[in-house]
Amino acid sequence: MVLPLTHPLSDGRTTHSSLVRAYSGQRPERLPVWFMRQAGRSLPEYKAARGGTAMLDACLTPELASEITLQPVRRHGVDAAIFFSDIVVPLRLAGVDVEIKPGVGPVMGAAIRTADDVARLRELTLTPADLEPVSQGVALTVEALGSTPLIGFAGAPFTLAAYLVEGGPSRDHLAARTLMHADPETWRALTEWAADVTGAFLRAQVLAGASAAQLFDSWAGSLSLGDYTQHVAPASTRALSQVKDLDVRTVHFGTGTGELLAAMRDVGADVVGVDYRIPLDEASRRLGGHTPIQGNIDPALLAAPWPVLEAHARDVVARGASAPGHVVNLGHGVPPTTDPDVLTRLVGLIHSL
Amino acid sequence: MVLPLTHPLSDGRTTHSSLVRAYSGQRPERLPVWFMRQAGRSLPEYKAARGGTAMLDACLTPELASEITLQPVRRHGVDAAIFFSDIVVPLRLAGVDVEIKPGVGPVMGAAIRTADDVARLRELTLTPADLEPVSQGVALTVEALGSTPLIGFAGAPFTLAAYLVEGGPSRDHLAARTLMHADPETWRALTEWAADVTGAFLRAQVLAGASAAQLFDSWAGSLSLGDYTQHVAPASTRALSQVKDLDVRTVHFGTGTGELLAAMRDVGADVVGVDYRIPLDEASRRLGGHTPIQGNIDPALLAAPWPVLEAHARDVVARGASAPGHVVNLGHGVPPTTDPDVLTRLVGLIHSL
C-alpha cells in the first residue's frame, strides 16, 4: 500500500467539515456530534465483523479495523469516525507482552516496577515499519470516509505507564502513583518512553490521513492537580509534540478530570473533552472561555426514556454555547448495553438544534 | 448482654479525647490520627484472628469484630477505633441476599431494578433485635477502649443503592445513575429505604457506645453536583437524621468528591473527610473555613521511602491548619499491601508535630 505523501488536511478534504471547524473554535451551521466508543461493542454489525478475533488482532488487521471504524458513521450519521484501536496497541507493536482479556482489560506479561525493568523496556523501539498495520487501516478508512474526518487516537503516557506499572487495570493506580514519588527519575524515564511510543502511534495515524488526534488519559482523574502538573504533564506534552508540526487539531480527555481541565489543555491540546460530571458552562469557565470543548452527555441517560435524554441533550448543547467551539459527545464511552437506535436518534436531535 | 441505657458521651468518657475535640472544631494539644481501613487486611494479627471466617460472618460475630477493631489501636496507638464492619451488613441483617466475594466485593443474589423490586425490598425491615450482633460487638469494644473513642460506620444510601441496582460493584454505577433519572419515584423509594436501614445500623452503633459516626459514600465521586444535590443528598440527610438526637459528631466521606464537599457537609455532617486529590487548605476554602476536616495523606505514599512520606505528611498537617479542627487520616483506605510498621511510625510523627 502507498501512503499519502502529504497530510490530507492540506488537500482541503475535511477542512470545512463541521468537526474540524468546531475544533478550530468556529461555530459551523450544524453542531458536530460523535460518540466515544461509537465503534465497537454496542453494535451488532461489530460483533458480526469481529467474530472470534482477539481484540488486538482486530486492531492490527487493517481491513477489519477500517470496517469497524466505518460502521457507526454509516449507521448513525455521526460527523466523525474515530479509528478503532486500543491504547495498548503501540505497546504491543513495540514488543511489550500485552493482551486484552475480555471483561478485564489490558494485562501485561510482567509488571514494570524497577529502574532495571524500565531500562529494559526502553530498549524496545517503535519504527514506522512497525506501525504499518495502523497506517494501512487509517489510509483505507480515510479513503472510504471522503469529506468526513477521521480522528486519530492514542493513550496518554500516564495511563500507559499505570497499566505497565500495575501489570493491568487497577482501581486507584497505587503502584504507579507510588513510583512517581518514590523514584521520580525512573518514573520520568518510563513516561518519556511511553510518550515516544504513543506519540509515534498518534503521528502515524495523522500521517496516514487522520484529520484530528485525541489523547485519552483514562486514569488522570486519579491524580491531584499537583501530581498531574509535576509528574504527568511533561510526558503528555512530549506525546502531543509529535504531531505539532502537522496541521491537526488535538483533543485531550479523561474522566473525573474537573480539577485538571486547564492543565490538560496546557500540555498542548487545542480542545478539551469534558466528562459528564462538570456542566459545560462551568468547564468553559474553568478554561477561561477561549478553548473549544467536547462533551458531555451522561452515558447513563442513554438508557433513560427519550424525553429525559432529550431534555438532557438540549441542556448540554445550551451550556456548550458558552465555549468558542463545541463538538457534542458523551461524557464517557458508549456503554456496551446501549440501544444503537438511541444513538442514531440522538444524532438527529443534535443536528436539528 | 445488657446495653448501656444512656449514650456513653454523656458519661464524659471520650468527651476530652483529641478526636472528639477536633471533630468539634477545637485544636487539642496533640493532633489526632486514625486510618480508614486500619482494622483488617493490612495486619497479620487480623488474618490470624479471622482465619477462614467469611467477611460478613466475621462482622456479625461480636467477639471477633471487637477483637479486629481493637487490633490497630493496640499496634499503632491511633486516637480512635473504627468499628470493623461492612456497609452491606445492614442489608444482610434486613434479609437481603448479599455476600462479600473475596477480590470482588459485595454481590447481590438479584439486582434491584424495577418499581416492583423496590416494593418487595421495602417489605424488609431492620429492627433493634436484628442489630443485636452489632450492638454487642460495639459494647464489647467500647468497654475495652476506655477513653479512646470508637467511630461508628455506615454506608451512605447512594452507595448502598448503587450496589443493589447494579447487583455488585461497578465502575461508573451506570444502572443506578440511569434509574435516578429514568424513574425518580422508584429511585427515591429505594434510597429512602436504604437510608432507613443504614441509619438504623449507625444509630445502633452510637447507642451501644460509639462516640462519633462516619457515613461513607464510596461512590459519590461518580456523580455531578446537580445529581448529588437532587437525587442523593435527601436520602443522606435522612440517614444522618437517625443520630441527630444523639450527642455524636458525624463525619461524611467519599473519594473523588472535591466538587461535592460543601454539599456533603450540608446533608447534616459536622466534619468532612477529604480524599487525597484535593489539598486540605483548598478543601477548607471550599467549605468556607468553618468546618472541621479529616484527611488526607495519599495512600500511595505509604509505600514510598520514609523521607518522601514524612515530607508529605508534614505538608498535609500544615495545610490542615487552615481548618477549625483537623483529624489526620488517609485520603482513602489503607492498601492491603501496606507495611504496618509504616503506619505506626506515621502515628508517631503526627503525634510529634
Cα angle value B270/A259/A263 (rounded, 5°): 155
Binding site as annotated, residues of A: 37-41, 86, 163, 218, 332
ipTM attached to this prediction:
0.94
Rounded Cα distance between A154 and A217, Å, is: 9
Q: Answer whether A256 touches B (CB < 8 Å).
A: yes
β-sheet bridge partners, residue B100: B106
Q: What is the mean pLDDT of residues A134-161?
A: 97
How does residue A345 score in pLDDT terms, banded at 50, 70 and 90?
very high
Q: Tell me the β-bridge partners of B154.
A: B215
CB contact under 8 A, B299 and A174: yes
pTM of the model: 0.95
Beta bridge partners of A105: A101
Rounded to 10°, the helix B174-182/A306-320 angle is: 100
Identity of the amino acid at A133: P
Tell whether residue B352 is among the known ligand binding residues. no
Q: Find, among A151, A164, A226, A150, the residue nearest to A195 by Cα.
A: A164
**Alpha-carbon span B83 to B66, nearest angstrom:** 7
Signed CA dihedral, B8, B13, B15, B20: sign only: negative
Q: How far is B322 from chain A (nearest CA, A)?
A: 19
pLDDT tens digits for range B16-62: 999 999 999 999 999 999 999 999 999 999 999 999 999 999 999 99
Say whether B92 is catalytic.
no
Render pLDDT for B272-298 as a digit per residue (tens, 0 to 9).
999 999 999 999 999 999 999 999 999
Beta strand A150-155 with A81-82 is parallel
pLDDT above 70 covers a percentage of chain A that reads: 97
Mean pLDDT (chain A, rounded): 95
Calculate ∠ Cα B33-B36-B39, nearest 5°: 100
Question: Are residues A292 and A327 in contact, defined by beta-carbon separation less than 8 angstroms?
Answer: yes
Q: Where are the domains of chain B?
A: 18-352
Substitution target from B231, B277, B330, B339 for chain A, most A beta carbons within 10 A:
B277
Residue A45 in this model has a pLDDT that exceeds 50 = yes
Searching chain B, which residue's CA lies closest to the CA of residue A311? B181
pLDDT reported for residue B8: 52
The C-alpha of A175 sits at a distance from chain B's nearest C-alpha, in angstroms, of: 7
Q: In angstroms, what separates the C-alpha of B201 from chain A's closest C-alpha?
A: 28
Whether B181 sits inside 8 A of A224 (CB atoms) is: no
Environment class of A242 (CB within 10 Å of its CB; exposed 0-12, middle 13-18, buried 19+): buried
**Nearest-by-Cβ selection for B182 from A182, A308, A335:** A308
* Termini Cα distance of chain A: 42
Q: Is the pLDDT assigned to residue A78 strictly greater than 70?
A: yes
- Rounded distance between C-alpha atoms, residue B47 and residue B24, angstroms: 35
What pLDDT, on the 0 to 100 scale, is given for residue A111?
Answer: 95
pLDDT for A8 beyond 80: no
- Torsion, Cα B182 B188 B190 B196, to 10 degrees, reads 170
With beta carbons less than 8 A apart as the criterion, state whether B91 and B155 touch.
no
Give the pLDDT confidence of A165-208 residue by residue, as tens digits: 999 988 889 999 999 999 999 999 999 999 999 999 999 999 99
With contacts defined as CB-CB under 8 Å, which chain B residues touch A224?
Answer: 276-279, 298
Interface contact flag, A277 B224, Cβ < 8 Å: yes
Cβ contact (<8 Å) for B174 and A221? no
Can you give the pLDDT at residue B144?
Answer: 97
Q: What is the pLDDT of residues B208-230, one digit of tens each?
A: 999 999 999 999 999 999 999 99
Question: Has residue B9 got a pLDDT over 70?
Answer: no
Q: Are A37 and A334 in contact (CB under 8 A)?
A: yes
CATH fold of the domain at A18-352: TIM Barrel (3.20.20)
Binned at pLDDT 50, 70 and 90, residue B11 comes out as low
pLDDT value at position A171? 85
Residue B163 a catalytic site member: yes
pLDDT at A7 > cutoff 70:
no
Contact A287, A293 (CB under 8 A): yes
Q: How far is CA B219 from CA A112, A330, B159, B176, B227, in A?
A: 30, 20, 6, 11, 13
- Rounded to whole angstroms, how far apart are CA atoms B98 and B114? 18
Predicted confidence at residue A3, as pLDDT, reads 43
Question: A228 with B276: CB under 8 angstroms?
Answer: no
Give residue-wise pLDDT tens across range B137-150: 999 999 999 999 99
Yes or no: say if B187 and B224 are a contact pair by the CB < 8 Å rule. no
